[in-house]
Amino acid sequence: MVNTKVTLSGWELDNPIIPASGTFGYGKEFAELWDINMLGSFSFKGTTREARFGNPTPRIAECSAGMINAVGLQNPGIQHVVEHELPEMKKFFHKKVVANISGFSLEEYVDCCRIMDKEDQVGIIEVNVSCPNVHGGGMAFGTSPESAAQVTRAVKEVTQKPVYIKLSPNVTDIVSVAKACEEAGADGLSLINTLLGMRIDLKKKKPVIANKMGGFSGPAIFPVALRMVFQVAQAVNIPIIGMGGVATAEDVIEMMLAGATAVQIGAQNLVDPYVCPKIIAELPSVMEKYGIQSLTDIIGGAWK
């Protein structure tokens, strides 16, 4: 009997599968299709201090082996999430969740993390310093080691829960950003967020997306994500949640061999809403195929 359990900062998960923020909402729509309690956890929709309508439409562009989105952190604001979404979530999901937080100022990150720290349902606070499709926030904090460390230190001062910093691939050296976050007190890291991409409408001769550019995700970015997890895992001593183009149980194993302790599934949820239960069901047989008894034994196995 294989063991799929993993541990993130003292929090034991039944398996490493976590739907990524922005691709799973608050879980309700998926809970109507299958029992989402089989998940390790899930990262709910990126939350800001104030409600956001998001970017103008069109917001989505298709491309080979992936998609580009510029939704722009549309969400109802943190007070609504705490007062309505979390209590509603408790009815159909009976495990702790990952709270994804974003902001447009250091103060906003701090305020949101302070509020979310009080919620029993939250197991980890995932601080997004890497959203590529909003102006003046998100990725602006994650493109330099200094600014990423500044956010990390500030939110750690107001939280008791583990804080994982979600990193951007749109940098020259992701390792330096990761190490700066670790030194500033991060309990873990999530990587990678989307790459920056665009499409042009040939008939209109203009960008497809109103925002012009957006976050490129899907299977096409998996090798990039894998490489970055591999590099960062060798440079830090805190756990990593790996993500970026993961679509199969084999991808999960590969990501863990690169150094991830848990794995988030993003764009593939939008292609196949049953992808997570499929991966969870296939994971034991894939482990047996490759002679893996326990997932914790293979973390970083490609370089250790």
> How far is the C-alpha of 190 from the C-alpha of 241, rounded, in Å?
5
What is the C-alpha end-to-end distance of the chain, expressed in Å? Answer: 25
At residue 131, the pLDDT reads 61
Domain boundaries 6-49+76-196+218-297, corresponding CATH code: 3.20.20.70
pLDDT exceeds cutoff 90 at 138: no
What band does 139 get if pLDDT is binned at 50, 70 and 90?
Answer: low
At residue 101, the pLDDT reads 97
195-197, strands of its sheet edge to edge: 60-63, 66-69, 214-217, 195-197
- Give the closest residue to 266 by CA, choosing from 238, 283, 244, 282: 244
pLDDT exceeds cutoff 80 at 78: yes
> How far is the C-alpha of 156 from the C-alpha of 275, rounded, in Å?
34
β-strand pairing of 66-69 with 214-217: antiparallel
pLDDT exceeds cutoff 70 at 133: no
Q: What is the mean pLDDT of residues 41-70?
A: 95
Q: What is the mean pLDDT of residues 159-181?
A: 96
Region at 82 (left for phi over 0; alpha for psi -120 to 50; beta for the rest): alpha
Task: Convert the pLDDT of each residue in 272-285 to its tens digit.
Answer: 999 999 999 999 99
The residues, any chain, with a CB within 8 Å of residue 138's CB and separated by 6 or more, are: 73, 102, 103, 104, 128, 129, 130, 131, 132
At residue 132, the pLDDT reads 52
The packing angle between helices 249-258 and 275-289, to 10°, is: 70
> How far is the C-alpha of 4 from the C-alpha of 29, rounded, in Å?
26
**CB hemisphere CA count around 240 (13 angstroms):** 32
Q: Which of 113, 131, 181, 276 is catalytic?
A: 131
Residue 144 structure tokens? 């330099």
Helix (H, G, I), strand (E, B) or coil at 242: strand
> How far is the C-alpha of 34 from the C-alpha of 4, rounded, in Å?
20
User: Is 112 known to be catalytic?
Assistant: no
Report the predicted TM-score, pTM, of the whole model to 2 decimal places.
0.96
Q: Where are the domains of the chain?
A: 6-49+76-196+218-297
Q: With beta carbons less than 8 A apart as the criterion, state whether 86 and 32 touch.
A: no
